[in-house]
Amino acid sequence: MRRQTTTTTQQTGQTQQQTGQTQTGQTQTGTVVSGSSQQTTVTTQQTSFSRSVQTAVFQAIAQRSQINVSQLRLVEVRRRAWATSCLGLNISGRSCAQVMTPGYLVVASSGNQVFVYRTDATGSVVLFDQRATEIRTAQIRSRSTAISFRDVSANHWAASFIRELAALDIVDGYPDGSYRPDQPVTRAEFAAIIRRAFNEAEVREAINFLDVDRRYWAYGAIQETYRMGFLSTVANNLFRPVNSISKGDVLFALATGLRVSTTSSTDTLLSVYNQTNLSVEQRTLLAALTEQGIVVNYPDIRSINLDRTVTRAEVAVIVYQTLASLGCVPTIESPHVIDGGDVVTIDNDRDDDDDDDDDDDE
């Protein structure tokens, strides 16, 4: 794990339109545009990230890390809807009810320290996300090391995403120094990437795939991703490890493995796409992925092409965006990523003013 970057991916002649950023307690407004010259934003209803919720999160951080609340600053706040009362986390010894729980993913910092927490909508449940905090901290520590591949130029549409994941040892290149961004991804290769990027609780027992020998290089990754619920059999206990994987399979594997959900309008979230021949379950999952900024469409932002074989570049961007949606890494802006409107605008200057007011009151 090596380096962090805050590079904004922007190709020559392209402009990005960041419209309708959410102000706390207001409605999100945005534009849906065709083509790649503008960023596509979905219009959704925003809920309020109140000062009381922020205070609850800051107090939890202060208690856990022995940091003064006045030293904390918000880095990022994202709207979320979790499928359990444990906010999507696996907590030993805690019973989690299967109930839709709206809330927030909150990233805060104090100097070089960063903290990722999850909270319900009122701040009555505030939970530390250790995995996301560890990845985000590792990325900060890796800032000094640059990763490059001879076939990924600085202006390649996925360059920043590829380099960031390579710095985190989630993707890697080939011995000749190449990454081969346009090469298809096999099911075994995708399983290896999933294993490095995510650490979800096991939801089922392992099985013996008839076409995956124990000595196969990706045997462990395939077994783990199956147990975590990301990937399944193709047919008759076959995994087909060398088969290329489609973009739809990648997206829906992430959606099911991470149990994504949304309380927003499915029709609104999917209005940005020109493909509608999806099942009800696929529409629900795709809507949740869209809201969380995970869907990437290149070169045409509105053409999702779920049946097309996915490339190594696309997988890198999709996996990075998934990690960003979990608070594990900072967002990299790109005109090829659908803005689902889940990011809440924060104002630390207002917090400073409020702190000053509190001091005056004392």
- The pLDDT value recorded for residue 42 is 54
Q: Name which of 340, 338, 347, 323 is nearest 16 in CA terms.
A: 338
> What does the block give as tokens for 298?
């290149």
Classify residue 207 by burial, with Cβ atoms within 10 Å: 0-12, 13-18, 19+: middle
Give per-residue pLDDT as tens, 18-38.
333 333 333 333 333 333 345
Q: Name which of 258, 268, 343 is nearest 22 in CA terms.
A: 343
Per-residue pLDDT of the chain (362 residues; tens, 9 = 90+): 333 333 333 333 333 333 333 333 333 333 333 333 455 555 444 456 899 999 999 999 999 999 999 999 999 999 999 989 999 998 888 888 999 999 999 999 999 899 999 999 999 999 999 999 999 999 888 776 778 999 999 999 999 999 999 999 999 999 999 999 999 999 999 999 999 999 998 999 999 999 999 999 999 999 999 999 999 999 889 999 999 999 999 999 999 999 999 988 999 999 989 876 889 999 999 999 999 999 999 999 999 999 999 999 999 999 999 999 999 999 999 999 988 888 887 877 655 555 444 444 44
Query: How far apart, in whole angstroms, are the C-alpha atoms of residue 270 and residue 293?
Result: 12
- The pLDDT value recorded for residue 29 is 34
User: Crossing angle of helices 312-325/187-197, nearest 10°?
Assistant: 30
Classify residue 153 by burial, with Cβ atoms within 10 Å: 0-12, 13-18, 19+: exposed
156 Cβ neighbours under 8 A, 6+ residues apart? 162, 181, 313
Would you mind telling me the total number of residues written for the chain in this entry? 362
Distance of CA 251 to the CA centre of its chain: 12
Rg (CA), the chain: 20
Query: How far apart, in whole angstroms, are the C-alpha atoms of residue 151 and residue 170?
Result: 18
DSSP-derived pairing of the beta strands 126-128 and 113-120: antiparallel
Name the residue type at position 62. A
Alpha-carbon torsion 68, 116, 160, 288, what sign?
A: negative
Query: How far apart, in whole angstroms, are the C-alpha atoms of residue 293 and residue 311?
Result: 19
- The single residue listed with the structure tokens 């965006």 is 321
Q: Where are the beta strands (DSSP E) in the chain?
A: 73-82, 101-110, 113-120, 126-128, 343-344
Query: How far apart, in whole angstroms, are the C-alpha atoms of residue 339 and residue 321?
Result: 11
Burial 7-32 (b: 16+ CB within 10 A, else e): eebeeeebebeebbbbebeeebebeb
- The single residue listed with the structure tokens 């045409």 is 300
Give per-residue pLDDT as tens, 35-63.
334 555 554 444 568 999 999 999 999 99
Give per-residue pLDDT as tens, 297-339.
999 999 999 999 999 999 999 999 999 999 999 999 999 998 8
- The pLDDT value recorded for residue 47 is 54
Name the residue type at position 145. T
Q: Name which of 163, 120, 113, 157 is nearest 134 in CA terms.
A: 113
Give SS3 for 343.
strand
